[in-house]
């Protein structure tokens, strides 16, 4: 199950594709947010190819999934 879900965003808004490498754990008051480590897909034109960051994801996610990130410069705080 590896598919890309592209949200309805204006065409002029930039997005980045990132692959989930590792699921780190659940967070949030009710545990409805999953913290994951993602690696940006190869797009060496902007120097982001291969870079890895931690993100929070709402909804079902597992290793190997591909996320479409609307905002890619901010990294989530790590779980304690």
DSSP codes, 49-76: TT-EEEEEEES---TT-EEEES--S--P
- Provide the whole-model pTM: 0.73
What percentage of the chain reaches a pLDDT higher than 70?
71
Pair 34, 57: CB distance under 8 Å:
yes
Average predicted confidence (pLDDT) for the chain: 81
pLDDT at 33 over 80: yes
């Amino acid at each position: 199950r590896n598919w890309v879900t592209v949200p309805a965003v204006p065409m002029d808004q930039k997005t980045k594709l990132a692959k989930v490498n590792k699921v780190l754990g659940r967070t949030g008051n009710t545990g409805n947010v999953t913290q994951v480590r993602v690696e940006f897909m190869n797009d060496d034109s902007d120097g982001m190819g291969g870079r890895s960051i931690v993100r929070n994801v709402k909804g079902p996610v597992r290793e190997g999934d591909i996320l479409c990130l609307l905002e890619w410069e901010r990294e989530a705080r790590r779980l304690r």
